DNA sequence: AGGGTAACCCGGACGC
DNA sequence: TGCGTCCGGGTTACCC
């Protein structure tokens, strides 16, 4: 659920608060959250580090520290909070970084899906990611070339972060519908024109999502409104907003996949 | 290489 | 209302 738009917004909201030095880190409340040997090792490494900047790559958020990079993946239920003033530990707080006496940085995650890494080189975590869908590298020409050389079906390919970094289940379904492409179409079979449509649709759904503050269906991200704009996602059995045919739901590579069988034909 | 499956996790939705 | 079951997001591991 938490995808690109939330990441952008959260990073923006955090920026003003992230000026302190880390003077204390709590033990992790949930050890599996952290991809380091132990909470103690984590505390030892991170204490005293200074936050030099914040950023995002794909679905990963990161804090650039003095000697490490702290990477955070919110997955679907994670949330980042910069708490000013008194901090009271809440039920789902998984990682707590006290920055100053009255600034606390909290990674909260009710469903424990999120992950945190503390590494010397961010490439250890980010190194295999594909290009940014809103970046300069992602061009229609790039997409066409890649699709031609790929034998996968469109849906699994588009959610593969090593192919393109940032699309999740929701935006992929929406982009395929907007470009009238069936999720099971073989990537190498699609035409030049269709690839161009897909390129445009990917950019459109992401920009639209960012504009609407994200697609979160949960209570997690307060204010996300893209969930009210879905044309196919979660709308199985309801009419397609384009043609009125019933939206179908199938499973592709274990992901619920929503599409309009009339707009998105497997042939042609 | 690509496809299929299980596992991780738990709040909430749903059925009885 | 209360209890049990299922769902779903992203990713990795492991199988064929």
> A243 near A157, Cβ under 8 Å?
no
The model's pLDDT over A232-265, given as tens digits with 9 standing for 90+, comes to 998 999 999 999 999 999 999 989 999 999 999 9
pLDDT value, residue A219: 45
CA of A74 to C1' of C10 (A): 10
| Strand C, CB < 7 A, residues 49-108 of A | 58-59, 73, 75-77
Strand B at less than 7 A from CB of A156:
yes
Across A35-49, A74-88, A180-194, least confident range? A35-49
Domains of chain A in start order, with CATH, are 4-126 (3.20.190.10), 140-259 (1.10.8.50)
The chain-wide mean pLDDT, for chain A, equals 80
Whether residue A229 has pLDDT greater than 60: yes
**Annotated active-site positions of A, please?**
2-3, 59, 255
Structure-model confidence comparison of residues A28 and A183, the more confident one = A183
Q: What is the pLDDT of residue A163?
A: 95
Q: Tell me, what's the pLDDT at A30?
A: 43
**What b/e readout covers A87-120, taking b as 16+ CB neighbours within 10 angstroms?**
beeeebbbbbbbbeeebbbbbbbbeeebbbbbbe
A111 CA → B10 C1’, Å:
5
Instruction: Name the nucleotide with the smallest C1'–CA separation from A113.
Output: B9
A253 touches strand B (CB under 7 A): yes
Nearest nucleotide to A75 (CA to C1') is: C10
Enumerate the nucleotides of strand C whose atoms come under 7 Å of any protein CB.
Answer: 7-12
Torsion angles phi and psi, residue A61, rounded to 5? -100, 150
- SS3 for A138-190 is CCHHHHHHHHHCCCCEHHHHHHCCCCCCCCCHHHHHHHHHHCCCCCCCEHHHC
Estimate in Å the CA A116 to C1' C9 gap, whole number: 17
C-beta atoms surrounding A151 within 10 Å: 9
Q: Residue A52, Cβ neighbours under 10 Å: how many?
A: 11
pLDDT at A165 > cutoff 80: yes
C1' of C12 to CA of A167 (Å) = 18
pLDDT at A29 over 80: no
Q: Mean pLDDT throughout A138-165?
A: 95
What is the per-residue pLDDT for A19? Answer: 39
Per-residue pLDDT for A118 more than 60?
yes
Asked if the Cβ of residue A168 lies within 7 A of any atom of strand C, the reply is yes
Please determine, for residue A224, whether its predicted confidence score (pLDDT) is greater than 80.
no
Q: Is there contact between A222 and strand B, defined as CB under 7 Å from any strand atom?
A: no
């Amino acid at each position: 659920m938490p995808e690109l738009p939330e990441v952008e917004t959260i990073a923006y909201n955090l920026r003003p608060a992230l000026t302190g030095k880390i003077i204390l880190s709590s033990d992790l409340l949930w050890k599996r959250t952290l991809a380091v040997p132990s909470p103690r090792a984590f505390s030892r490494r991170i204490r005293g580090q200074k936050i030099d900047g914040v950023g995002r790559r794909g679905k990963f958020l990161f804090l650039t520290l003095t000697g490490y990079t702290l990477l955070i993946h919110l997955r679907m239920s994670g949330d980042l909070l910069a708490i000013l003033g008194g901090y009271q530990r809440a039920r789902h707080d998984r990682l707590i970084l006290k920055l100053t006496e009255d600034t606390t940085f909290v990674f909260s995650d009710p469903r424990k899906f999120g992950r945190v890494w503390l590494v010397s080189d961010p490439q250890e975590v980010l190194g295999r990611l594909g290009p940014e869908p809103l970046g300069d590298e992602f061009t229609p020409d790039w997409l066409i070339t890649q699709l031609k050389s790929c034998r996968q079906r469109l849906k699994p390919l588009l959610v593969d972060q090593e192919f393109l970094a940032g699309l999740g289940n929701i935006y992929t379904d929406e982009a395929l519908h907007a470009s009238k492409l069936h999720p099971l179409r073989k990537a190498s079979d699609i035409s030049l024109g269709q690839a161009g449509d897909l390129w445009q649709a990917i950019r459109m759904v992401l920009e639209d999502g960012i504009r609407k503050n994200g697609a979160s269906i949960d209570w997690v991200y307060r204010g996300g409104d893209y969930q009210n704009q879905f044309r196919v996602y979660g709308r199985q059995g309801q009419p397609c907003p384009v043609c009125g045919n019933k939206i179908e739901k199938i499973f592709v590579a274990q992901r619920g996949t929503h599409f309009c069988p009339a707009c998105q034909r497997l042939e042609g």
